[in-house]
Amino acid sequence: MASPFDRIGRSDGAGVHAHLLVVSDSHGDLSVLDGCRSRVQERRVDAVVHLGDMGPEDWPDPVPGLGPLVAVAGNTDPAGRRLPGVRVFEAGGLRFVCVHGHLQQVKTSLALLFELAARCQADVVFYGHTHRFRLDWGKTPDGRAVLLANPGSSFGFGLAASAGCLFFDVRERVLTGRRMTGQGETALEIGSFAD
């Protein structure tokens, strides 16, 4: 049966392959996004995933020209932007769920993200709101392994903010990536998702 979710990526002869640029909490500031854009310009980007709190209603696409925008509403996004609270898509054989995180109370616990992953049968949950970079492996209530990934703020607002973005390469259920900040890039070796 065909999936009801959007599919992102391309078949390159070795399977479905996708590049995802993941950002959150830009609050109308382009400085970190400009740095991320300059680092990924020579790479193909199949989707720019923005996890909410983009900025004012008249604020443009946060990373114009890089790839299609997949976005969710944050707690400060204007209602006129008409963004969904949750997005689900598939790429490289994995299912991704995107939320801002305020409705899932991510500043106090990640439990509601694991429940959301179970309901959506997701392998990865992207979330923002805390302005802190995090990668957490855990189990859904039904026992499946899931990765929770927060890119941190692309604005750098707040004392504990970790300004940056994430660039993921997903192919045949293997996820690798890079964390990009103003200081440079760090490899993220995430690995393979078991079937």
Euclidean distance between CA atoms 111 and 128, whole angstroms: 15
Cα R_g (the chain), whole angstroms = 15
Mean pLDDT of 79-90: 91
Q: Span 120-142, mean pLDDT?
A: 94
Q: What pLDDT does 2 receive?
A: 43
| Domains of the chain: residue spans and CATH | 15-187 (3.60.21.10)
In this prediction the pTM is 0.91
Q: Across residues 137-159, what is the average pLDDT?
A: 87
Pick the more confident residue, 73 or 39: 73
The dihedral through the CA atoms of 82, 162, 32, 37 has a sign that is negative
Rounded distance, CA 122 to CA 134, Å?
18
Please check the confidence at residue 61 and state whether its pLDDT lies above 80: no
Judged on CB neighbours under 10 Å (0-12, 13-18, 19+), 65 is exposed
Task: Please write the tens of the pLDDT for every residue from 154-175.
Answer: 886 655 567 889 999 998 889 9
